[in-house]
Structure 1
Amino acid sequence: MSSDALWYADMTTGPNGQDFTVMERLAEIRERYGPDDLVTRFWKKAEPALIEAVRRTQARAATQPM
């Protein structure tokens, strides 16, 4: 998917430029916004698709020559 690389970048980078795993990033969002915030609820619904996009991007990157 064409959006995978964008989602990968967003889901592996923290608000201050930190390197995160996708699971760390999702936890950071939940912690920052709280469980009832609209942002947290959106990411919770989108989580499976986001995780899969990150996995697809990592798989594609692993097969590319350096």
Structure 2
Amino acid sequence: MLIKDLEDYRKYTVAGELFEEKLLHPVGLIATNGMAALAANGADAKKMVGLFWNTSVRSGVRRY
């Protein structure tokens, strides 16, 4: 499984095309993926939960 740097998370269109703008809250996406992975049995489920667990809370303007 490829894990991206937080600064490299981007938005995609429904057709899967990449938007140029960065995702404003990548930690929120990681949290969502981690929570969804709790209901999954796939090989990457534990990795996604681990990624969320080990992701630092953001600071600055875009913190929660």
Task: Compute the TM-score of the two structures, normalised by the length of structure 2.
Answer: 0.39
Bigger proportion of residues as helix: 1
Report which structure shows greater RCO (CA 8 Å, sep ≥6): 1
Task: Compute the TM-score of the two structures, normalised by the length of structure 1.
Answer: 0.39
Bigger proportion of residues as strand: 2
